[in-house]
Amino acid sequence: MASYIQRRKFLAALLGGAVAWPLAARAQQPGKLPTIGYLGAGTPVSESQRVAAFKERLHQLGWIEGRTIAIESRWVEGRSDRASEIAGELTRLKVDIIVTSGTPQVIALKQATSVIPIVSPTMGDPVGAGLIASLARPGGNVTGLSLLQPDLGGKRLEVLREAVPGLRRFAILGNFSNPPIAQESREVQAAADRLGVEVATIEIRRAEDIRPAFDALKGADALYLANDQLILSNRTRINIMALVARLPTIYNSREYVEEGGLVSYGPNFVDLFRRAADFVDKILRGAKPGDIPVEQPTKFELVINLTTAKALGLTVPPTLLARADEVIE
């Protein structure tokens, strides 16, 4: 009888432990690989550096695609109207976790599922958007990194003003239906008022809007890009058009300057995607997304493209060059 009772206790303990196993342990079972759904807001090309950093960090943490995890990737290609469709598709696939960038994509996923964990490296203001309860205790199924920096738009304008001596009038180009972009635009306009610089806002919501937007830029001395995935996916085209129009540009990330933009000031987005892998690792090992605090960028970079400056006939002040984290020549 004692032997029977001991055997029952052993089986109960074994089964109880199986229920509590994290996804990492279940991943060792054939055909049971945990699956990451990746909702790319841009294109495979436009997000290549970011995704590579994310996968590299996952690898360092022991998650190898095809061996210990599977990844299902889908791409919005800068068209926000596709986000809801893809969110539904990933939910139906019953992936174990979803990674995406940008507030609109997170909103679409949140509307599609309140159960599957969602990690985003680049949310704007997740509290203001109603995606989480607080940065310290998100609650629910969303976590990741927030880009909310109230004074960053003003600082970026100051950099543009320093890079373009005599700046009198500039235009902000962006998709203002994206809440963080609308907020950034308001901050930049407030900073422009303080600095006595005239500003015009020009909205684009799809790739087809870019050409007409440039036609409306007459009289501007420079162009401030309020970046989201639409601009990221079309950055090469925008940089070419800005160069033809002889318009200095400022962006929020080095990726744009590496492909011909004049200057950028902001967080290192590749690093944010790398950091997002740590959130995924914690969740795959059993942590709840609602218990993982949302983090913010800790490093900001100033990157200047001198080749573009020369093509524009612009002399970048030595004081600005001296502060740059990188100068592309």
Q: Read off the CATH number of the domain in which 51 is found.
A: 3.40.50.2300
CA 97, 99, 103, 106 torsion-angle sign: negative
What is the predicted pLDDT for the residue at 31? Answer: 58
Q: Is residue 116 part of a domain?
A: yes
Three-state DSSP class for residue 96: coil
What lies within 8 Å, CB to CB, of 151 at 6+ separation is 187
Q: Is residue 9 part of a domain?
A: no
Q: Is residue 2 part of a domain?
A: no
- CA–CA–CA angle 154, 213, 329 (5° rounding): 60
Q: What are phi and psi of 251, to 5 degrees?
A: -125, 180
Same domain, 309 and 322: yes
What is the predicted pLDDT for the residue at 15? Answer: 39
Q: Is residue 8 part of a domain?
A: no
Cα 306 from Cα 312, distance rounded (Å): 10
Same domain, 179 and 209: yes
Distances from the Cα of 259 to the Cα of 46, 77, 130, 277, angstroms = 11, 18, 35, 26
Cα 127 from Cα 101, distance rounded (Å): 16
What is the predicted pLDDT for the residue at 256? Answer: 94
Same domain, 282 and 226: no
Same domain, 317 and 201: yes
Q: Could you list the pLDDT tens digit for every one of the 329 residues in the chain?
A: 444 444 444 444 433 433 333 444 444 444 579 999 999 988 899 899 999 999 999 999 999 999 999 999 999 987 778 899 999 999 999 999 999 998 889 999 999 999 999 999 999 889 988 999 999 999 999 999 998 776 789 999 999 999 999 999 999 999 998 888 888 999 999 999 999 999 999 999 989 999 999 999 888 999 999 988 889 889 999 999 999 999 999 999 998 999 999 999 999 999 999 999 999 999 999 999 999 999 999 889 999 999 999 999 999 999 999 999 999 99
Same domain, 135 and 48: yes
Residue with tokens 């991943």: 27
Q: Is residue 1 part of a domain?
A: no
Same domain, 183 and 277: no
Domain encompassing residue 39: 16-148+270-291
What is the predicted pLDDT for the residue at 78? Answer: 73
What is the predicted pLDDT for the residue at 127? Answer: 93
Contact 143, 279 (CB under 8 A): yes
Same domain, 275 and 323: no
Q: Is residue 211 part of a domain?
A: yes
Amino acid at 162: E
Q: How many Å is the maximal CA-CA distance in the chain?
A: 93
Same domain, 167 and 127: no
Token pair of 262 as six digits: 């004049």
Q: How many domains does the chain have?
A: 2
Same domain, 85 and 164: no
pTM for the full model? 0.81
Same domain, 56 and 107: yes
Same domain, 85 and 161: no
Among residues 95, 100, 138, which one has the least CA distance to residue 121? Answer: 100
Token pair of 277 as six digits: 């892998």
Q: Is residue 7 part of a domain?
A: no
Give a three-class secondary structure readout of 197-241: CEEEEEECCCHHHHHHHHHCCCCCCEEEEECCHHHHHCHHHHHHH
Residue ranges of alpha helices (H) inside the chain are 2-20, 23-26, 48-60, 83-92, 103-112, 152-163, 179-195, 210-215, 229-233, 235-244, 254-258, 269-284, 306-311, 318-323
Q: Is residue 248 part of a domain?
A: yes
Token pair of 61 as six digits: 């943490």
Cα 93 from Cα 95, distance rounded (Å): 6
Same domain, 275 and 209: no
